[in-house]
Structure 1
Amino acid sequence: MTSIRIADTPRTARRSGPRGTPPRHNALQRALTRMGWAFSAPGLFVIAAVTIFPVGFSIVMSFSNVDVLGSGFQIDGFTLGNYTTIFTASVWQYALVFTIVYTVITVIVELVLGVLIALVLERLEGIRGWMMAILLIPWSLITVISATLWDYIYDPTAGIADWIFQQLGWGSPVILGTPTSAIIAMMVADIWKTTPFVAIIVLAGLVMIPGDLYEAAEMDGANGWKMFWKITLPLLRPTIALAVLFRILQAFGLFDLPFVLTQGGPQNATTSLAILGYQAMFTDLKFGPGAAVAVTTAALVVIGCLVFLKVFRAQVSETED
């Protein structure tokens, strides 16, 4: 009778990791992981030092009594008075409303103009690169430099805006001297600078849309307007959501533009939450309320970010379906 001999399991097989992974491969992965953390540690330490620590310290300061001394400041005791102070202050309420309204208006205008510019650039295949380079000039300027440029434009004596108004027969209005005109002037400067950013993002989404969809729609008798609403816009929703998310986060932290153009005036008309926090901490030396303004602003930004990320994921899911 023939006997069946069961061979011993090879030693290498017994030592294999999950799913048959050789032990040497696992050891190499662990070594590479440790090496990666070792190389990343200095950068992570710097990020923690310049980001996490200031945020944590601001939160602690916002819940503390802060006494300003001749040699600095001193944190003394826990309190909720800083938040009570800012929530009941009319200037904080106005800054919150102004920041939200400013963000909504500028983002909507930038989105409409950005989509229109992207549609034009998408058809300029020969000179698209040159047009994109020219378009990115406003976006590439530092905000302080851009704001200084617009400050010269709005100058009531030597600015080109004053000359244009005179040619139109509107006299010589002091653009940054009244609340309404100052707000509109700031919006114009912001839209001029950031619309190219939206246009480039939307253009990236446009070039990813397959041309077969337009050819099929054209064969079915669809005109350009119908193809835009039925094909282009639905497929651009994730891209547009991403552009809106970035712009809302940037616009909600409005600081450089009003700081250079109006310093929050006239009559606090252009005081954003960031300007208010700066004035409270470095002008009035009220570190506790100033930190509370900064913390509440950051909390609103985080909430807005989470909401838009949820919307963005829903848009992506609808597009994939």
Structure 2
Amino acid sequence: MNERKMEKRAGYSLMLPALLVIGLVTIFPILYSVWMSLNDIRLTTNGFLMKFIGFSNYNVIFSSPVYWHSVWFTVYYAIVTVVAELVIGMMIALAINGIEKLKDVSLVVMLIPWSLITVISAQMWAYIYNGVYGVLNYILQVLHVIGAPVTWLGTSTSAVIAMMVADIWKTTPFVVIILLGGLQMLSKEYFEAAYMDGANRWQTFWSVTFPLLRSSIALAGLFRILQAFGIFDLPFVLTGGGPGTTTQSLAILGEQALFQNLHFGVGSAIAVSTVALVLISCLIFLSAFRSLVEGESA
């Protein structure tokens, strides 16, 4: 027993520096943001002054239609992009896993979008969508799909769709990597047994592959939900949150409050509410996914 206690103490002592770093760079900023959201913060010549005002900052954002528009945009943007990336990523992962030759080459080519910095890929898509010299307009005009150039980022609907396409193009490879790793860990015996029982490819996927791959799907979905709710760089470069406030995410709204308008208390309240929204969304996703898998396996 004494040896076990000594081993546990040694293990805890080795973990302590890492835990202190995590607490310093993660937990403390979150707690301090919560405290800032409960205060009225004013800049002075000597720094800043904080005055406790309770939930007044939350009353400000919750009574703002701009805030609720950003919430709605962030939520449906995350839902559409994450679902699309999971579906497309699954199809690509199954395709790559099913080939023997050029598998490594296919994987490397597919990872090119993910390897690009988001700011650079956003600028590239801005050139593609440009209403004057954009390559998308040129291709569609050559194919006689459109008769005149379209300002893709100039209207609300087309701007949202254009941004979703750019995001799905960039982040789907991330989903593919996780799902492909899960596929390669599955035993071939399950699939051989399914084929011997006369199951076709769709039945094999839905009854064997999908249930066995649920942990990888859940992991990919959770990571993408976290990233999608914090979307900032893509709309910031591609649309600037426009036209108007159409593509203004919660991250952009918080940045405007914190760094442009210097409303630190309101900006902190937006950040804290975003974290709460992300946690709720992750719990809903896990609950819905668990119910789907249990329903199919019942």
Encode CA deviations 1:78-121: one digit per residue, 9 max, x unaligned. Answer: 23211011011000110011011101111111111111111111
For residue 72 of structure 1, report the CA deviation from its aligned partner. 4.1
Normalised to the residue count of structure 2, the TM-score between the two structures is 0.89
The answer to whether 1:122 aligns with 2:97 is yes
Q: With a CA cutoff of 8 Å and minimum separation of 6, indicate the structure with the bigger relative contact order.
A: 2
Larger Rg computed on CA atoms: 1
Normalised to the residue count of structure 1, the TM-score between the two structures is 0.83
Mapping for residues 164-203 of structure 1, pairs under 5 Å: 164-169=139-144, 170=146, 171-203=148-180
The answer on whether the counterparts of 1:138 and 1:194 sit within 8 Å (CA) in structure 2 is yes
Alignment identity in percent? 50
Q: Which residue in the other structure is 1:216 paired with?
A: 193
Work out the CA distance in 1 between the residues paired with 2:250 and 2:283.
20
Gaps of 5+ in 1: 1-16, 18-22
The answer to whether 1:237 aligns with 2:214 is yes
Q: Which residue in the other structure is 1:252 paired with?
A: 229
Work out the CA distance in 1 between the residues paired with 2:238 and 2:182.
35
Q: Which moved more, 1:195-204 or 1:151-160?
A: 151-160
Encode CA deviations 1:123-155: one digit per residue, 9 max, x unaligned. Answer: 112221111111111112222222122122222
For residue 275 of structure 1, report the CA deviation from its aligned partner. 0.7
Work out the CA distance in 1 between the residues paired with 2:172 and 2:21.
33
Q: Which residue in the other structure is 1:148 paired with?
A: 123
Residues 229 and 29 (structure 1 numbering): CA distance in 2 closer, same or farther, change over 3 Å?
A: closer
Work out the CA distance in 2 between the residues paired with 1:112 and 1:29.
46
Work out the CA distance in 1 between the residues paired with 2:189 and 2:97.
16
The answer to whether 1:264 aligns with 2:241 is yes
Mapping for residues 91-106 of structure 1, pairs under 5 Å: 91-106=66-81
Q: Which residue in the other structure is 1:226 paired with?
A: 203
Q: Which residue in the other structure is 1:65 paired with?
A: 40
Q: Which moved more, 1:259-268 or 1:199-208?
A: 199-208
Work out the CA distance in 1 between the residues paired with 2:30 and 2:111.
32
The answer on whether the counterparts of 2:211 and 2:297 sit within 8 Å (CA) in structure 1 is no
The answer on whether the counterparts of 2:163 and 2:235 sit within 8 Å (CA) in structure 1 is yes
The answer on whether the counterparts of 1:65 and 1:79 sit within 8 Å (CA) in structure 2 is no
Q: Which moved more, 1:287-296 or 1:77-86?
A: 77-86
Work out the CA distance in 1 between the residues paired with 2:19 and 2:98.
44
The answer on whether the counterparts of 2:153 and 2:243 sit within 8 Å (CA) in structure 1 is yes
Encode CA deviations 1:270-302: one digit per residue, 9 max, x unaligned. Answer: 001111111111112211111100000011112
Residues 91 and 27 (structure 1 numbering): CA distance in 2 closer, same or farther, change over 3 Å?
A: closer
Work out the CA distance in 1 between the residues paired with 2:97 and 2:225.
25
Q: Which residue in the other structure is 2:14 paired with?
A: 36
Encode CA deviations 1:48-91: one digit per residue, 9 max, x unaligned. Answer: 33222221221111111122335543211223211011011000
